[in-house]
Amino acid sequence: MIPLRFSPTIGNGQDWEVLGFGHFNSQFGLNMIVRNINSASPKLFQQVWIYDVVQTAGNYAAQLSTAVTPGQMPGVLGGIGLDWKVAGIAPVNVALLTTNDLVMRNTTTGAFQVYNIQDDVLTGTAALTPPVSKPIAPSSTVGGMAIDLSGPTQGSTSQLVQAMAGFDGGSGAAGGANAAPLAADTSQQSFLAAPQHG
């Protein structure tokens, strides 16, 4: 296994949690997103940073991005509250399928929020709301995310389908098995709204 080395300017202390890996920059094959979880560091607490993962001489290095999100320092996307957990990483913005988006879910309300990241820059966020006829219970967990290219499309866009695993009661077993697709019409939602951070 090849080790992943961090930029020496930051390090990878326990103050940071990895939110996930994805393709958030057309110039790099892989990116890593981390969030600060140390409330004793008010300037860094809940800040989300993005790293470009590059391969050099047989090793992988995670270098803090030099891209600048408006109002932030280079490599910093902004703050996302710890009550938001990663639901998945996928190209939710169907107009830009070449890069991924970060989908977060509120652990209290069950609400979904899409963070549109292009070239290591947060370009906007928007709520991702399931239809009223097919609600997703806050107790359900996200089983995964994928693009559905098999069915009919509306206009020229593809729909994104999220697989939901209905684990209720905390027993560790698939008790209810109430899987429900998140059938949001992405062709009518703008994911490029003004950034909002929880």
Residue-wise pLDDT for 125-164, tens only, equals 999 888 888 888 877 877 777 776 665 554 333 344 444 4
172 domain residue, yes or no: yes
Mean pLDDT of the chain: 74
Give the whole-angstrom CA distance, residue 6 versus residue 191.
Answer: 31
Q: Look at residue 66 and tell me if it is in a domain.
A: yes
Contact 2, 60 (CB under 8 A): yes
**Distance separating alpha carbons of residues 198 and 192, to the nearest angstrom:** 17
Q: Which two tokens stand for residue 76?
A: 């910093």
Burial call 39-50: b when 16+ CB within 10 Å, e when fewer: eeeeebbbbbbb
Q: Does residue 117 carry a pLDDT above 90? A: yes
Residue 193 lies in a domain: no
What total of structural domains would you count in the chain? Answer: 1
Domain region containing 61: 4-188
Model pLDDT for residues 24-52, shown as the tens digit of each residue:
988 878 999 999 999 999 999 999 999 99
CA neighbor of 81 nearest in space, from 160, 17, 2: 17
- Tokens for 107, please give them: 């652990």
Report if residue 197 sits inside a domain.
no
Q: Is residue 170 part of a domain?
A: yes
Q: Is 167 strand, coil or helix?
A: coil
> Does residue 116 form part of some domain?
yes
Q: CA 197, CA 165: separation in Å to the nearest integer? A: 27
> Looking at the domain assignment, is residue 196 inside a domain?
no
Cα-only R_g, the chain: 17
